[in-house]
Amino acid sequence: MAQVTEQSVLEALRKIVDPDLHKDIVALGFVKDLQIDGGAVSFRIVLTTPACPVKEQMQTQAQELVGALPGVSSVNVKMDAEVPKGRGITEKVVVPGVRNIVAVSSGKGGVGKSTVAVNMAVALARDGARVGLMDADLYGPNAPLMLGAADAQPIVSGNKLVPNEAHGVKLISIGILKPGDEPMIFRGPILHSLVRQFLGDVLWGELDYLIVDMPPGTGDVQLSLAQLVPVQGAVLVTTPQEVALADVRRALRMFETVHVPILGIVENMSYFVAPDTGRRYNIFGEGGGQKLADEYHVPFLGAIPIGLEVREGGDRGVPVVVGQPDSPQAEALRHVAEEVARQVSIEAMKPELVVLGKAR
Per-residue pLDDT for the chain (360 aa), expressed as one digit of tens each? 678 899 999 999 999 999 888 899 999 999 999 999 989 999 999 998 888 888 899 999 999 999 999 999 999 999 998 888 765 544 455 678 899 999 998 877 778 889 999 999 999 999 999 999 998 877 678 888 999 988 877 788 888 889 999 999 999 988 777 655 555 554 545 566 777 788 888 899 999 999 998 877 655 566 666 666 678 899 999 888 777 677 788 888 888 887 889 999 999 988 888 877 878 888 777 778 888 899 889 999 999 999 888 888 888 999 999 999 999 999 999 999 999 999 998 888 775 444 343 332
The answer to whether 220 and 137 are in contact (CB under 8 A) is no
Q: Treating both helix axes as pointing N-terminal to C-terminal, what angle do 242-257 and 288-296 enclose, rounded to 10 degrees?
A: 30
Q: Which CA distances in Å does 272 have to 77, 118, 202?
A: 42, 21, 40
Residue 326: partners with Cβ closer than 8 Å, 6 or more residues away: none
Q: Residue 30 pairs with which residues in a beta bridge?
A: none
CA 330 to chain CA centroid, nearest Å: 15
> What is the rounded distance in angstroms from the CA atom of residue 309 to the CA atom of residue 325?
10
Give backbone dihedrals phi and psi of 251, rounded to 5 degrees, phi first.
-65, -40
Say whether 101-354 and 6-81 share the same fold.
no
Class of domain 101-354: alpha beta
Question: What pTM did the predictor assign?
Answer: 0.82
pLDDT at 49: 87
Angle at 215 between CA 90 and CA 48, to 5 degrees: 50
Q: Where are the domains of the chain?
A: 6-81, 101-354
The CATH code of domain 6-81 reads 3.30.300.130
> What is the rounded distance in angstroms from the CA atom of residue 148 to the CA atom of residue 142?
10
Q: Residue 213 pairs with which residues in a beta bridge?
A: 104, 135
